[in-house]
Amino acid sequence: MKLRSVFLAAALAVTASVSGLAPATATTSLNASQIVADMGAGWNLGNQLEANSNGVPSETAWGLPAVTPALIDKVKAAGFKTVRIPVSYLGYIGAGPNYQINAAWLNRIQQVADYAYQRGLYVLINMHGDGYKTVNGSWLICDSGNQATIKAKYQKVWQQVAARFTGYDQHLVLESMNEEFDGQYGNPTQPCYSNINAYNQIFVDTVRKTGGNNSSRWLLIAGWNTNIDYTTGNYGFTLPTDQFRSSSVPAAEKRIMISVHYYSPWDFAGEENGTITQWGRGAANPAKKSTWGQEDYLDAQLKLVHDAFVAKGYPVVVGEYGAIDKSSFDSANNRYRADFARAIVATSKKYGAATAYWDNGNNGQYGFGLFDRRSYAVTHQGIIDAIMGGLAGR
């Protein structure tokens, strides 16, 4: 048995060398609080691998250049330790029953993941655009009548993605879905939420069964629209069972994380106008500040996820947060965007959650960008400083 393990390790190293993947390493498994601390500040590679043209994924379809190692070097140098990579599959999924992912696309997903993984960063890979009704070619639709086909397709896609990453260590985290809901804001509907729960269960079972490090890997799952209230409250969310997890994981430990997003108040964080441009106790103009969603609300929201999940051993990742650039309307806006980011990171840390800032690659009016993806220049050092300060308690 020992000799067989030696041959297996050698084979994995050869495979890794050929593919450009850093050889799998035997890292100490981190528990819930340890991995959240180790993930540090996170950053989203938004609008790239989830971009598409007429339902066909393309990382340059939305006007950004192809991702390069130099960009990830800049992100790492800025202090980020986690890179979340949103991914769409859409028209690159073949016909059933095998639902084969386009080989070049799967190779590219791995290559971009390697840019971060090989630099010692945590990497989060998810399924991002396939569940939006507004996206041409979307299919992961929770209120569709064709659930048997959807679930079979979902299982096959994750089986292929997970198999590609079996040798990666704990720095690789897989995320089941992104902002999945029926497209109507408001209370969750049934049986739509039941289908979302079913997708999460399929995801966990499928990834675990691919073996290797996937049998003990941290997995990230989301509730209704990745919304805190609808994931923590009595609206229908259920945690998946983890029955195929490796027996090497201590029984008392979880290996499932919960994904939520934070863009409250939306009139400050996302509404594309100049009405609300300030946030927090430092706001100088009450007329420019939202009537809700301030520090007390943020604290209450993160306490909800702590009490529902963190306190029970399930880490939480605020996988997206941020506020759009409205400095064209208010020259002080970027200060409040920084205050907002600092508060989210600090409050998340207080309640045992990790964070990943939403960077969509766009700078200027209504952009979320922190870097210029062509020149790699930092465009909002103030926000980056606030993120790092929030993590450090400054």
CB of 354 closer than 8 Å to CB of 294: no
CB of 106 closer than 8 Å to CB of 164: yes
Residue 61: how many other CB atoms lie within 10 Å:
16
In angstroms, rounded to a whole number, what is the distance separating the alpha carbons of residues 363 and 371?
Answer: 8
pLDDT at 29: 82
Residue 343: how many other CB atoms lie within 10 Å:
20
Residue 5 makes CB contacts below 8 A (sequence gap 6+) with none
Token digits for 354? 């990790």
- Phi/psi for 118 (5° steps) reads -70, -10
pLDDT at 28: 60
Q: Which of 50, 175, 180, 320 is catalytic?
A: 320
- Phi/psi for 106 (5° steps) reads -65, -40
Q: Any idea where the domains of the chain sit in the sequence? A: 30-392
Beta bridge partners of 126: 175
CA atoms within 13 A on the CB side of 299: 4
Q: Which of 336, 332, 324 is nearest to 271 (CA)?
A: 324
320 is catalytic: yes
CB of 213 closer than 8 Å to CB of 247: no
Q: Torsion-angle region of residue 247: left (phi > 0), alpha (psi -120 to 50) or beta?
A: alpha
Enter the DSSP assignment of 221.
E
pTM for the whole structure: 0.93
Low-confidence ranges of the chain (pLDDT < 50): 1-27
CB of 321 closer than 8 Å to CB of 344: yes
Q: Which of 179, 180, 253, 272 is catalytic?
A: 179
In angstroms, rounded to a whole number, what is the distance separating the alpha carbons of residues 118 and 16?
Answer: 11
pLDDT at 16: 39
pLDDT at 394: 83
Residue 28, Cβ density class (10 Å: 0-12 exposed, 13-18 middle, ≥19 buried): exposed
Token digits for 123? 């990497």
Residue 225 makes CB contacts below 8 A (sequence gap 6+) with 179, 180, 181, 185
Residue 108 CA to chain centroid, in angstroms? 18
Residue 149: how many other CB atoms lie within 10 Å:
14
pLDDT at 241: 98
Token digits for 160? 């292929």
CA atoms within 13 A on the CB side of 10: 6
Using the structure block, give the residue that is written with the tokens 């109507």: 184
Domain 30-392 adopts which CATH fold? TIM Barrel (3.20.20)
179 is catalytic: yes
In angstroms, rounded to a whole number, what is the distance separating the alpha carbons of residues 107 and 19?
Answer: 9
HEC profile of 137-157: CCCCCCCCCCHHHHHHHHHHH
